Structure 1
Amino acid sequence: MVRAAVLSAVGAPLELTGIELPQPGPGQVRVRLAAAGVCHSDLSLSNGTLRQPVPAVLGHEGAGTVVSVGEGVTTTAPGDRVVLNWAPSCGECHFCGRLSEPWLCQHAGAGTTVPYARTKGGEDLYPGLSTAAFAEETVVPAHAVLPLPAGVPLTDAALLGCAVLTGYGAVHHSARVRTGESVAVFGVGGVGLATLQSARIAGAGPVIAVDVSPAKEELARAAGATDFLIASETTAKEIRALTGGFGADVAIECVGRGETIQTAWNSTRRGGRTTVVGVGGKEQQVRLSALEIFYFARTLTGCVYGNCDPARDLPVLGEHVREGRLDLGALVTERIALDGIPAAFDAMLAGRGGRALVVFEN
């Protein structure tokens, strides 16, 4: 029996209980979790903003140690320390093959709809985002684990699996921030903090952080923000004032609200780039006039998983960690046990803190 936080129904509170986790089958790997980050996407899965079969074990940002492997697995072995990849690419579909865009793999989420374990009562249990990291152990496909980069602490490495890959990729792959460009980051949660650090790594300046909470200023500045603004109706005007009257070269939205996306767009200079990282509900709308699209010549771009190829980008992030350019621990504002996840969800809804990290006793 493995302890896990189980979502019995959409909108229901998580239940800390035992689950029956099978041994890995052909092509599968069993991993003992060291840590799992609590991401806003987990909250979106629990409340129905994102689809998820239930009952389910959520959690997709994790790292741990391989316990056992199934038949035919040759890419990893028991004892290996790994980072979970919640969107593993198939390598063969239209997006992976012809387009070389593995972050858009049409089969990446296939595991979400396949039961991977059973509840104590014998009911089929589904893995949140194919990963199910809110449990002491999980079973995933072999291609959903990546080697832990040398020199990266296993517990902090959980953050690499989503927040850091997403924030780093938003800056370096989607927005393609260049040295000396101004960047405005909207939302100073876990992904926002990773985005600020990545903008600093890219040599951006000024780097402007925007959040609804004044309490986030210290976190934002420690991550690389040169300026901090409280979100308001005048945010776009304030950003233009900080950028010579032009607006930011790049705006990165990490919230997922129509209103915030609109402000990010309005904060971007003519010819600038607005990248949307936040996951919003379908009811969140953005209105743009045909005239402003023509006149401002801005680019508005969605960003999935930072447009990253985790196998390629994880070693790069490991190098940044080893050289002290990327501080994973600075993203974490609370280390909790499994039973602390509901409170972490509440904190996200209230706009408090950065990343909450579930730390398991191994």
Structure 2
Amino acid sequence: MYAALITGKDTVELREFPDPVPAEHGVVVDIAFCGICGTDIHAYQSGREYNPAICGHEWSGTVSAIGAAVRSVGEGDRVVVSVASACGACAACRQGQAGYCQQAFLSAVGRDALAPAHGGFAPRIAVAAERVVGTNTGLTDEQAAQVEPATVAFHAVRSSHLRLGDVAVIQGGGPIGLGTMQWVRAGGAGIVIVVEPNPQRRALAIELGAHHAVEPGAVADELIKELTHGLGADIVYECVGRGFAVQSAVDLARRGGAMCLVGLPDEEAAITVGTWLVKEIRTTSSLAYVREEFEMAMGMIADGRVVVEPMHSSTVGLDGLEAALADLASGTSEQVKVLVDPNL
């Protein structure tokens, strides 16, 4: 069996692995689709060391084998990858901080005991049974492969203290930004503005429910001032994942406003501390999600409150992964969410 791995700057390799077998508490899943994440794009661009277990961590599929101790799922069940539930025994759990469970975090970053040597850019994968969730019957495999990034956005908005009627700005119109925008609307924001340089993504933002979608810079600055009587946005979600965008998010917020950091920059971020202090910016940051949010997000996608299908712009096979990554990393791509079908 061959799996695709990002092994260096601008480098994707197909490496051969033995056919996976389930551990006692594990399962083997036949992959239907695996999404290309911003993390994959950053790794491809930078060449920085990259944990192979999360090289393709947005997948859906069907259980084809289970370990002797597994009772939570069975062969033939449609599943989607998630983080493990809180263990209840680590230091964080014992202190009542189950949302920061150390074992669940290790599973989120592919460092748990049953983490595989590759991710979902492969026909099959063996993972811990606690990592998979039964797919909502109302979802297709294509939709299910987009639940993971949608839940990342859900967690960010849920933890950001968004208030009813807020003027909310989302920096970045990629899959995370467009997901965040939809959760912000579902959460009751009064005016939702997406700031995105790509015109195709701006058009998609409007299609998915944004009130305004504008290019960054003076145009965005003036629009936000106009809509807020010169005050600035109540809350800004930074979903670009580039260092320069951290300060720009604060610049767009009003005094006493908030900024939620969702994107993960590879580089250092230069900030103007005085602006943060003068504005008394309330800041939250968000990484991944907790298991209960995965179920919540999947249900709301299934009932149509959040829509993922329009973000799915193309599908490639394993042999098309490198070209897709190069396109997405170019900064000029018209793609939004590219899914990989390892069976093509």
TM-score over 0.5 for the pair: yes
Q: Which residue of 1 aligns with 2:276?
A: 293
SS at match of 2:207: helix
Question: Within 1, Cα distance between the matches of 2:154 and 2:268?
Answer: 28
Match of 1:120 in 2: none
CA drift at 1:261:
1.2
Distance in 2 (CA, whole Å) between partners of 1:141 and 1:39 is 21
1:76 equivalent in structure 2: 73
- 2:232 aligned partner: 247
Matched, 1:151 2:150: no
- 2 CA distance for matches of 1:337 and 1:184? 35
Provide closer, same or farther for how the CA distance between residues 114 and 219 of structure 1 changes in structure 2, counting only shifts above 3 A: same
Is 1:357 matched with 2:335? no
Give 1:240 shift: 2.3
The amino acid that maps onto 1:31 is V
Aligned counterparts of 1:204 and 1:313: Cα–Cα separation in 2: 20
Secondary structure in 2 aligned to 1:14?
Answer: strand
- Distance in 1 (CA, whole Å) between partners of 2:44 and 2:85 is 22
Q: Which residue of 2 aligns with 1:302?
A: 285
For the Cα contact (< 8 Å) 1:184–1:210, is it kept in 2? yes
Alpha-carbon distance in structure 2 between the residues aligned to 1:47 and 1:143: 32
Map of 1:2-81 to 2, 5 A cutoff? 2-7=1-6, 9-11=7-9, 13-47=11-45, 51-53=49-51, 58-81=55-78
1:348 maps to which residue?
328
| Aligned residue number for residue 311 of structure 2 | 331
Q: Letter of the aligned partner of 1:137 in structure 2?
A: R
Contact persistence 1:182–1:207 (CA under 8 A): yes
Shift of 1:113: 8.1
Give a deviation string over 1:105-136, Cα, whole Å, max 9, x none.
5533574487966xxxxxxxx23xxxx11111
Q: How many Å separate the matches in 2 of 1:79 and 1:227?
A: 44
Q: Describe the superposition over 1:3-61 as per-residue Cα deviations: whole angstroms up to 9, x where unpaired.
A: 32133x3225212354213311221110011111100111233455764256x782000
1:90–1:108 contact (8 Å) kept in structure 2: no
> Is the 2:115–2:128 contact (alpha carbons within 8 Å) kept by the matching residues of 1?
no
Q: Provide the C-alpha distance between the structure 2 equivalents of 1:88 and 1:100, rounded to a whole number of angstroms.
A: 9
Q: Secondary structure at the match of 1:209?
A: strand
Contact 2:54 2:110 in 1 (8 A): no
- Cα distance in 1 for partners of 2:244, 2:130 equals 38
Q: In 2, distance between residues paired with 1:96 and 1:107?
A: 14
Matched, 1:85 2:85: no
How many residues are aligned here?
Answer: 340
Give the Cα–Cα distance (whole angstroms) in 1 for the partners of residues 39 and 319 of structure 2: 18
| Aligned-pair Cα RMSD in Å | 2.5
Alignment counterpart, residue 140 of structure 1, candidates 124, 127, 141: 127
Determine if contact 1:89/1:107 at 8 Å carries over to the other structure.
no
The code of the aligned residue for 2:340 comes to V
Q: In 2, distance between residues paired with 1:110 and 1:318?
A: 21
Q: Percent of aligned positions with the same letter in both sequences?
A: 28
Distance (Å, rounded) in 1 between the aligned partners of 2:43 and 2:85:
19
Residue 66 of structure 1 deviates from its aligned partner by 0.7
Aligned to 1:164: 150
Name 1:321's counterpart in structure 2.
301
Q: The residue matched to 1:101 in structure 2 has which SS?
A: helix
Q: Structure 1 CA distance, aligned partners of 2:45 and 2:113?
A: 20
d(CA) in 1 for partners of 2:71 and 2:255? Answer: 51
Contact 1:38-1:61 at 8 Å conserved across structures: yes
1:270 partner SS: strand
Distance 2:108 2:310 in 1: 30
* 1:215 shift after superposition: 2.5
Q: Where does structure 2 lack aligned partners over 5 or more consecutive residues?
A: none
Q: TM-score, normalised by structure 1?
A: 0.85
Residue 278 of structure 2 aligns to which amino acid in structure 1? Answer: Y
Conservation of the 8 A alpha-carbon contact between 1:66 and 1:80: yes
Q: Deviations over 1:247-273 (max 9, x none)?
A: 111100111222111111111112211
Distance 2:268 2:281 in 1: 24
